[in-house]
Amino acid sequence: MSRTISFKYDYPYCGYNSTSKYGNQWSTSRSTLNGCYTYPMVFNNAVPGCSHIKIEVEVTNTGSGTIYGLSWDFMVYRQSYGWTDVLTFTMPSDGKYTIDCNISNYNITQFAVVPSSNPGSSRTWSSWFGVEQLTISESLTTADMTTGEFLYGIFPNRYGITQNVSETFVNIGGVLTKAKDILVNVDGALVSLPKVYSGYFKSTSEQMKVFEFTPGSTANYMITQKTVSGDHEIRLYDSNFNQISDGYFYSQAFALTSGSLYYISVTQYYSAAASESWLQIYKS
């Protein structure tokens, strides 16, 4: 049964770009933070309930004095609240530092990395920031997997036979009708072809749909998609929304446990055009 869930997950398309929902770009407006002039990084949309962030920082001296070895602050702009310090660190001698820290579920729109105080006019620098991880909060209504749209078994084709997922139609009174069940004779007994769990998703922009799946038996299951158009990526999570899959996939087998709840996300790649696909699951 579909239901509304709230969950945290690592947003997959973070980084410097103008297209993805929570990508980031340089601000066109200069800000003054800790007495320093800076151009913050601005997210394309407010990042909801950010609880963890990882950023690769690289700064280079451009003045006569050094900015290495000084105290620096990582700051975020909380939507409706303003700038707040998150982390203070000492800039290494090579100007490279990895910010990898928790955030208190802030909705954030910008971030900046600046010295903790104005280092003086002789100390100037250039900066680059690469966002590697954004752990965010989302809420949506899940979708259930259904059966009857596709069957899994041995079907004839022009080269002989093949074992695959198929939509099967039969002629009933002159009308082609999709078969919901096919019985085959196995040692004198009629046995139904295995049903394929499936779910349909059509999207027109970067969107995500989450399906719930609880296996009826412990086995290896193939999780795959029948692509109609565009680019939908699949990810598998456990019941606590911890990601099981190693990144995204289009077709992969997993050992799933009977009675355990799994979440399967189908997400449109941020630069893809309108996307349409069927998520399909069957014993492999």
**Average pLDDT score over residue span 66-74:** 97
Q: Does 177 map to a domain?
A: no
Same domain, residue pair 53 and 100? yes
Q: Is residue 161's pLDDT more than 70?
A: no
What would the pLDDT profile of 75-89 be if each residue is shown by its tens digit?
999 999 999 999 999
108/154 same-domain check = no
Instruction: Give, rounded to a whole angstrom, the gap between the first and last alpha carbons of the chain.
Output: 25
User: Which pLDDT score, from 0 to 100, does residue 273 have?
Assistant: 86
Section 37-60 average pLDDT = 98
Q: Based on the domain organization, do 22 and 100 belong to the same domain? A: yes
Round the average pLDDT of the chain to a whole number and report it: 93
Residue 29 C-alpha from the chain's centroid: 30
Two structure tokens written together for 82: 């303003």
Domain-located, residue 103: yes
Residue 179 included in any domain: no
In-domain check, residue 178: no
Per the structure, the count of domains in the chain is 2
Q: What is the domain extent for residue 31?
A: 7-137
- pLDDT given for residue 162 in this prediction: 66
Whole-angstrom distance, CA of residue 200 vs CA of residue 184:
28
**152 shares a domain with 31:** no
Indicate if 80 and 147 belong to the same structural domain: no
Q: Residue 101: which of 118, 115, 84, 116 has the closest Cα?
A: 84
Whole-model pTM: value is 0.86
Residues 6+ apart with CB under 8 A from 157: none
Is position 93 within any domain? Answer: yes
pLDDT attached to residue 253: 96
Identify the pLDDT of residue 154: 66
How buried is 108 (Cβ within 10 angstroms: 0-12 exposed, 13-18 middle, 19+ buried)? buried
Beta-carbon contacts of 203 under 8 Å, excluding residues fewer than 6 positions away, are 209, 230, 232, 268, 274, 275, 276
Residue 64 lies in a domain: yes
- Residue 122, in any domain of the structure: yes
Is 149 found in the same domain as 267?
Answer: yes
Say whether 17 sits in a helix, a strand or coil: coil
Whether residue 111 is found in the same domain as residue 207: no
pLDDT at 39 over 80: yes
pLDDT of residue 171: 80
Please tell me whether residues 157 and 104 are part of one structural domain: no
pLDDT digits (tens, 9 = 90+) for 169-190: 888 888 888 877 888 888 889 8
Tens digit of pLDDT for each residue in 95-146?
999 999 999 999 999 999 999 999 999 999 999 999 999 999 999 999 999 9
Looking at 117, 137, 157, which one is the last position of a domain?
137
Distances (CA, A) of 229 to 29, 204, 232, 279: 39, 11, 9, 13
Q: Any idea what the CATH number is for the domain that residue 163 is in?
A: 2.60.120.380
CA distances for 241 relative to 8, 9, 252, 265, angstroms: 7, 7, 19, 10
268: tokens are: 């449109």
Same domain, 68 and 147: no
Integer Cα distance of 38 and 43 in angstroms: 16
Residues 88 and 19 in one domain: yes
With respect to residue 176, please indicate whether it lies within any of the assigned structural domains. no
Q: What is residue 175's predicted lDDT score, i.e. its pLDDT?
A: 87
Q: Cα(29)–Cα(2) distance, rounded to whole angstroms?
A: 44
